Structure 1
Amino acid sequence: MKYIRAQGIEEQEYYYFEVDDEMIAYRQVTLMNDCYKLSIAPEFYLAEGEIECFEGDEDISQEQFNEIWDKAVASYRVGWEQVKLDYAPGTLVNGIIRMFYPQGVIIQLSDRAYAVADSEELRTHTRPELMYPGYLVQGVIAGYDDNNLWLVLEHCTVSDEGVIER
């Protein structure tokens, strides 16, 4: 992974990206006037497509990125620890597809709990017309993604009963 600090258009606006070799963002922090927007819940503020670097943007270390990331997600940590207590590994859960990220399919389990499932695995046994936001997913909690504050699901199936909105 590569880490970038980019100057925004506005004064005191900065973007911090974790990107892969193809410049696709996996994690993002937007900082404007001491307010953070994150690529995790509840904001889900992640650049779509390839990140383009401009004059003044700079590479930063993973440590520098993680420092700003940890500061930005600090207010969500207590809630995340409760989610982990509420959703033990091995638990069968239901949720709704909300979006597709480079890490996988993002599934909302409750107002405060989100999970990620492997996109390729899900596509291998799901009809293409069901791979859209709003469809019901059932899966088993396999673990936790403590960076993104997501539960990790496996053995997922998508229901063809129609789109559900919460």
Structure 2
Amino acid sequence: MNTAFINEQSNFFLPEGSFEEHLEELSLITKEEFLSFWNKSISQHVDAWGSLKSKLHINQNIDTEIVCFYPQGVIVKYGEIFLGLVNYKDCESILGTDNIYPQQKIKLYVQNFDDENLWINFSVNPQHQPV
């Protein structure tokens, strides 16, 4: 299953510590092999992604809900099958340190569409449009 998409049975996982002692259990693949698997994984969602991109626009203000925290940032959902990503410090600046937790609601702006990962990058502020 591709974890870029919301599924009632899916969970997000991060190791609690080093998994270096388990590296021999992993199979190395080339970047090309990974991209082949990845493209196969997302191919079934490309049409829905295109529809979403035509429905939403850059700087659109969206109601979102925090799902979890990853090193890349805060993962949010917004009522679609796809997820979004926003900077942790930006969320903290809006919600405060004591109010940033999963299931917390936050209004965010669409910053851009990540066509490679099929998610939206969000911001707490609208982008300045060149005149």
Instruction: Measure the CA separation in 2 of the matches of 1:148 and 1:51.
Output: 25
- The C-alpha deviation readout for 1:62-111, integer Å capped at 9, x for no partner, is 22111101101111111111111111101111111112223211111113
TM-score by length of 2: 0.78
What residue is the counterpart of 1:47 in the other structure?
Answer: 13
Report the Cα offset of residue 60 of structure 1: 2.0
Equivalence map 1:1-166=2 (5 Å): 37-43=1-7, 44-49=10-15, 50-52=18-20, 53-155=22-124
**Gapped runs of 5+ residues in structure 1?**
1-36, 157-166
State the structure with bigger RCO (CA 8 A, min sep 6), 1 or 2: 2
Q: Which amino acid aligns with 1:151?
A: I
CA contact (8 A) 2:84 2:119 kept: yes
Count of residues in Structure 1 that have an aligned counterpart in Structure 2: 120
What's the Cα RMSD here? 2.1
CA contact (8 A) 1:98 1:108 kept: yes
User: Aligned to 2:92, what secondary structure does the other structure show?
Assistant: helix
User: Aligned to 2:89, what secondary structure does the other structure show?
Assistant: helix
User: Aligned to 2:45, what secondary structure does the other structure show?
Assistant: helix
Instruction: Measure the CA separation in 1 of the matches of 2:32 and 2:89.
Output: 30
Instruction: Measure the CA separation in 2 of the matches of 1:59 and 1:105.
Output: 28
More helix by share: 2
CA contact (8 A) 1:83 1:112 kept: no
Instruction: Measure the CA separation in 2 of the matches of 1:114 and 1:39.
Output: 9
CA contact (8 A) 2:4 2:82 kept: no
More strand by share: 1
Q: Which amino acid aligns with 1:41?
A: F
What residue is the counterpart of 1:22 in the other structure?
Answer: none
TM-score by length of 1: 0.63
